[in-house]
Structure 1
Amino acid sequence: MAKLVVMLRVKDGMFFVKEWLDCFEKLADEIVVLDNGSTDGTYEALKAHPMVVDIIRTEGYNEGRDKNLMYEHARMRKPDWCLWLDIDEIFEPGLTRAHFDKLMSSKMINKFAFRRFHFIDREHFAGSWYRLNYSSGHDRIMWREHPDGHFQNLIIDSPNVKGIKGLKRGTNFRLKHLGYINKELVDKKAEIYRAIIPEKEDIFQSMYLQGEKAIKWEDDRNSLKVIMLNNLLSTIQLTHIVPKVFRRIKKMI
C-alpha cells in the first residue's frame, strides 16, 4: 500500500487544530509539521499527536523557505505520495483512506487535484460566480513523490508544488476551507500580507467575503444537489481548459 505523508505549515492555528487532526489522522500515514512561531498552543497540540512524526520551527514570514524546508523533512519519511494543506482546510467527512488508496494505486496519474470551497460560516460556503469559478480550478494537489518536486521560493503566495511532471486529474473530492469564518484570524492574516505587499489591498479585502451568496453545504457527497454542483463546476473548468488546449495546438502547427 502506498505511503501518504501530509504536510502542514501553520502559525497560531489552535482554532482549527482538533478538527484538522480528526480529519487527517484517518487519511494520512504520517504528518510532518512546520510551525512558524505559534504562541497559542498549536505547536504543543500538534507535537503531542502520535501521527505527527516530525515538527520543526521557524521565525519570520517566508512561505517558500518554510514549505521547501518542510518538504525536505517530509522526504526523510520516504513517502510514495505527498499532500500539503493549511490548518483551516479539511476534507469532506464522507472521504475515507480507501478513497485515497484508490487514487494512489494509479499507474498513470502523478497528480490528483481537489476542489476547495470557501466557507462563510460552519454551514454555508461562498456561492458567487467568482468563488465557484475559483473552486472549479481544483487548487489543492496530492502528488506522487519525485526528486524534482519543489515549492517556489516566494515570501508570500507559494501555493502548490512545482516540478511534478506527468498526468494530472481533477477529482470531485471536496475540501472545506474554514479560514474565513473567524474574522480575528482573517484580520491577522491580512496584517501579515499588508506588511509584505501593501500595494495589493484588494486581495486583503477579498478575504472577508463581503456580499457573498451563501449556499448550504451538504455532507452527503452522493446527493443530487452535490452531483449537480460538481457537474456545473466541471463545465466551468472546461471553459478554461479548452481555449488553452487550442492555443497550444495553434503554437505547434
Structure 2
Amino acid sequence: MLGSYRIRRRLLRYEVPSGSFGLPARRRVRLLAMLAVRNQIHLLPGYVANIGPQVDGIVALDDGSTDGSAEFLEARPEVLQVLRVSPDRPYWDEVGNYRALVATALQHGAEWLISLDADERVEREFRKRCERVIWRGRMLRYFAYAVHLRELWNSTGEFRVDGIWGSKTPARLFKARENHEFDTRPLHATKAPLQSRIAGSYPVADLNVYHLGMLHREDRIKRRRRYELLDPENRWQPRTGYAYLTDEQGLHIRRIPAGREYSEGI
C-alpha cells in the first residue's frame, strides 16, 4: 500500500489526459451537476443549456431568490430537484447549502458529481472527456479531480493566463461518497471530499471550465468589492487577497483552442 501511495503521489505532477487516442468509449457513470443559486436568473438559461446535455441531471439549491430563479429551475426537465431556502434567512450558509446539495445528489443515485456555479460553463466535449479521465484514474484510485478554470476576459473567446490566472485548478469533479468529508471554511471551500486528496492535493484533469464572472471590467470590480466586504482581513484567501481581481499588470490573453470551445445552446 505504501508503494502504491508513493507512485500516486509522484504521478500528481502529471495531468490526467482526456483525449480519445482512438480508443473505444467506456461505460458511462451516473454524473450529476450541483448548483447553488441566488437571484441569477439571467445566467440560468445558458447554464442549463450548457451543462444539461453533459450530465444525467442537475440538483439545485435556491437560496431565497426573488427573481424567479427557483421557478425557472423547477420548470426544466434537466433539473431533478430544487431545494429552497427561505428569503428570510439573513445569511448565506455556503457550507450548509453544500451539504444539502451533496445529500440530495446521493439520493438521486449519483456516482460522480460536478460542482458548477451559475456563471460557469463546460467545454462542448466535456462528458466524453470526463468519462475518459475517470476511467484512466481508476487504476490509480483517483476519486476526485481538479479542473482548469479558465477566466474569460473581455471576450467570450479568450481567457487570461498570466500569473495566478493560468494556474487556477479547483477540485470540482469527484466520486460521490456517503462519507464525504466537507471543507467547513465559509468562503472558498474545497468542493471535493477532503479524504480524496493525495498528499494534500488532487490530480489535475485535462478538463476545461469557463468562468463568465470575470468577463467585463465592471464584473471584476464588483467581485473584488464583494469579497473585500465578506473577508476584509483576507482570512479565507491570505496568499493573494482580492486586489489581484482588478490588477491588469502583465495581462496575457489566450484564445480558446479549437475543439475546446463551450456552447450555451441558446
Q: Is the 8 A contact 2:58 2:80 kept in 1?
A: yes
Aligned to 1:172: 206
Cα separation, 1, equivalents of 2:114 and 2:79:
14
Residues 208 and 163 of structure 1, relative CA distance in 2, 3 Å threshold: same
Cα separation, 1, equivalents of 2:120 and 2:75:
20
Aligned residue among 97, 118, 133 for 2:127: 97
SS for the counterpart of 1:29 is coil
Can you give the 5+ residue segments of structure 2 that lack an aligned partner in the other structure? 1-27, 262-266
Q: How much is the aligned-residue C-alpha RMSD, in angstroms? A: 2.7
Aligned to 1:220: 258
Cα separation, 2, equivalents of 1:23 and 1:222:
14
Q: 2:86 matched to 1:52?
A: no
Aligned to 1:150: 181
Cα separation, 2, equivalents of 1:222 and 1:87:
20
SS for the counterpart of 2:196 is coil
Aligned residue among 136, 145, 150 for 1:112: 145
Structure of greater relative contact order (alpha carbons < 8 Å, 6+ residues apart): 2
Can you give the 5+ residue segments of structure 1 that lack an aligned partner in the other structure? 224-253
Note the 1:118-157 alignment, pairs <5 A.
118-121=151-154, 122-132=156-166, 134-135=167-168, 138-157=169-188
Cα separation, 1, equivalents of 2:260 and 2:193:
32
Cα separation, 1, equivalents of 2:50 and 2:257:
14
Residues 214 and 91 of structure 1, relative CA distance in 2, 3 Å threshold: same
Cα separation, 2, equivalents of 1:187 and 1:130:
18
AA partner of residue 117 (structure 1): R
Hey, which of these two has a bigger chunk of helix by percent? 1
Moved more, 163-172 or 39-48: 163-172
When normalised by structure 1's length, the TM-score is: 0.74
SS for the counterpart of 1:25 is helix
Moved more, 118-127 or 197-206: 197-206
Deviation at 1:219, TM superposition (A): 4.3
Deviation at 1:43, TM superposition (A): 2.1
Percentage identity across paired residues of the two chains = 19
Deviation at 1:52, TM superposition (A): 0.7
Residues 158 and 130 of structure 1, relative CA distance in 2, 3 Å threshold: closer
Moved more, 46-55 or 141-150: 141-150
Deviation at 1:42, TM superposition (A): 2.3
Corresponding pairs, count: 219
Cα separation, 1, equivalents of 2:149 and 2:256:
14
When normalised by structure 2's length, the TM-score is: 0.71
Cα separation, 1, equivalents of 2:71 and 2:217:
24
Cα separation, 2, equivalents of 1:38 and 1:191:
21
AA partner of residue 160 (structure 2): A
